[in-house]
Homo-oligomer: A and B are copies of this chain.
Amino acid sequence: MSLFRPQVDSMTAYIPGEQPQTAGWIKLNTNENPYPPSPAVVEAIQKAATTRLNMYPDPLSTKFRQAVAPLFHVDPDWVLPGNGSDEVLMMILKTFVDPGEVISFPYPSYILYGTLAEIQGARFEHLPLNSDWSFNTTACQPVVDRSKIVFVPNPNSPSGNRWSDDELSSVRPKKGILLVDEAYGDFADTPHQGELVRNDASKTTIVTRTLSKSYSLAGIRLGFAIAHPDVIAGIRKVKDSYNCDAIALAAGVAAITDQAYMHQTRAKILATRKRLADALPSLGFAVTPSQANFVWTQHESRQHKKIYELLKDQKILVRYMKFDRPESEAPLGSTRDGLRITIGTDEEITQFLGTLKQVISKV
């Protein structure tokens, strides 16, 4: 007899994108920032390495919260950091969702939400989309109505589309939380600065952010939630006492403080994104307009999986994604698959486009 919980026995673990540990790859598959973090971050880590690592970190992450808060025009008690936004999302589930309750999210989007729901013993449902990635509001309504949390990645992955504030309002549950996952928020045309939570009189909006993408710090695991202090206080109850380590916090403060550097790498990525999006159609690809650091693209006739494999043979990794369920058909077309391509450096994208051209001629 298995000792595992039935949920755990039956679940398939979430499979993250490939992370080759060898050198020489052009990695355009997991939406990492191709640029290193700010030099101030490197300096902060090297300094933190020599300071009282034998002691526990600040359980309240005070300095980090103080650094983050002004960016969103809130006080530090509106901010709760975690070990990557994955941990923040799990804490939020543990805070609000009882086993058997329902959470929902657009589909196709970030499938980890479903895995987290399974771990919590909750059920998940999908918010159906129209062919232009807008919400199919009629079909969404009953799902939203029974959701304890509606998760909306905004900009969305794999599509890169961004829903307007009005569209977000249309999927706000009556008796639940609207969680807007802004992992890619800094790459949007006009990034939010806390308006969603500050302007929500019902105090039921949570925005999550990460330093993995726009701040080039996927390696240190630091994300945070922004919400009304009453909400934050509840989430804090389920938090590990010392969930953020001293070095990550020092790196985070340095990264957040150096806004000029973030805006500089953001500008480079947006320029490269435009170049990639402009080039792909000439190779037969349709490109979904993106406000993130990646583009979702589908070829008019060639097999996406084959393209992915041939690129991999050349040590270029992109993300091949296929969404199986019927409700995913609207925005994805009949093949229900495609390629998500992270915006690398200009040189990486030049090399990618050259290789892609050769690959297309072979499939």
- A residues contacting B by CB (< 8 A) are 1, 3-6, 8-9, 11-14, 16, 19, 21, 27, 30, 32-37, 41-42, 45-46, 48-50, 52-59, 62, 83-84, 86-87, 90, 94-99, 112, 119, 121, 148, 175-177, 204, 212, 216-221, 234, 236-248, 251
User: What CA separation (Å) do A32 and B53 show in the bound complex?
Assistant: 10
User: What CA separation (Å) do A318 and B216 show in the bound complex?
Assistant: 40
Q: Quick one: which of B32, B42, B54 contacts A218, CB cutoff 8 A?
A: B54
Q: Which residue of B lies closest to A265 (CB)?
A: B54
> Contact between A99 and B84 (Cβ–Cβ < 8 Å)?
no
> Contact between B98 and A62 (Cβ–Cβ < 8 Å)?
no
User: What CA separation (Å) do A261 and B16 show in the bound complex?
Assistant: 36
Q: Quick one: which of B8, B35, B41, B243 contacts A238, CB cutoff 8 A?
A: B8
> Contact between B217 and A54 (Cβ–Cβ < 8 Å)?
yes
Beyond A3-B96, A4-B95, A57-B221, 5 additional contacts (C-beta under 8 Å) are A1-B175, A6-B98, A8-B238, A19-B58, A36-B52
Contacts of A45 in B (CB 8 A): 45-46, 48-49, 247
Q: Quick one: which of B9, B21, B36, B121 contacts A58, CB cutoff 8 A?
A: B21
Q: Which residue of B lies closest to A51 (CB)?
A: B219
Q: Which residue of B lies closest to A218 (CB)?
A: B56
Q: Which residue of B lies closest to A99 (CB)?
A: B99
User: What CA separation (Å) do A239 and B86 show in the bound complex?
Assistant: 10
Given contacts A42-B49, A219-B246, contact A204 B3 (CB under 8 A): yes
User: What CA separation (Å) do A177 and B3 show in the bound complex?
Assistant: 8
Q: Quick one: which of B4, B42, B96, B219 contacts A4, CB cutoff 8 A?
A: B96
User: What CA separation (Å) do A240 and B46 show in the bound complex?
Assistant: 27
Contacts of A221 in B (CB 8 A): 57, 83, 242-245
Contacts of A41 in B (CB 8 A): 49, 53
Contacts of A94 in B (CB 8 A): 5, 8, 119
Q: Quick one: which of B19, B34, B121, B248 contacts A54, CB cutoff 8 A?
A: B34
Q: Distance (Å) between the CB of A247 and the closest chain B CB?
A: 5
Q: Distance (Å) between the CB of A243 and the closest chain B CB?
A: 7
> Contact between A27 and B3 (Cβ–Cβ < 8 Å)?
no
> Contact between A240 and B86 (Cβ–Cβ < 8 Å)?
yes
The contact sample of 10 A-B pairs, CB cut-off 8 A, is A1-B175, A3-B175, A5-B94, A13-B237, A16-B59, A16-B242, A19-B56, A27-B55, A35-B54, A84-B243
> Contact between A240 and B32 (Cβ–Cβ < 8 Å)?
no
User: What CA separation (Å) do A176 and B4 show in the bound complex?
Assistant: 9
Most buried by B among A13, A41, A242: A242
Q: Quick one: which of B12, B49, B86 contacts A241, CB cutoff 8 A?
A: B86
Q: Distance (Å) between the CB of A221 and the closest chain B CB?
A: 4
Q: Distance (Å) between the CB of A121 and the closest chain B CB?
A: 7
Q: Nearest 3 CB-CB pairs, A to B? A: A219-B246, A53-B219, A54-B216
> Contact between B5 and A240 (Cβ–Cβ < 8 Å)?
no
Most buried by B among A5, A8, A87: A5
> Contact between A50 and B58 (Cβ–Cβ < 8 Å)?
no
Q: Quick one: which of B9, B237, B245, B247 contacts A11, CB cutoff 8 A?
A: B237
User: What CA separation (Å) do A189 and B46 show in the bound complex?
Assistant: 36
> Contact between A121 and B98 (Cβ–Cβ < 8 Å)?
yes
User: What CA separation (Å) do A83 and B88 show in the bound complex?
Assistant: 13
User: What CA separation (Å) do A36 and B243 show in the bound complex?
Assistant: 21
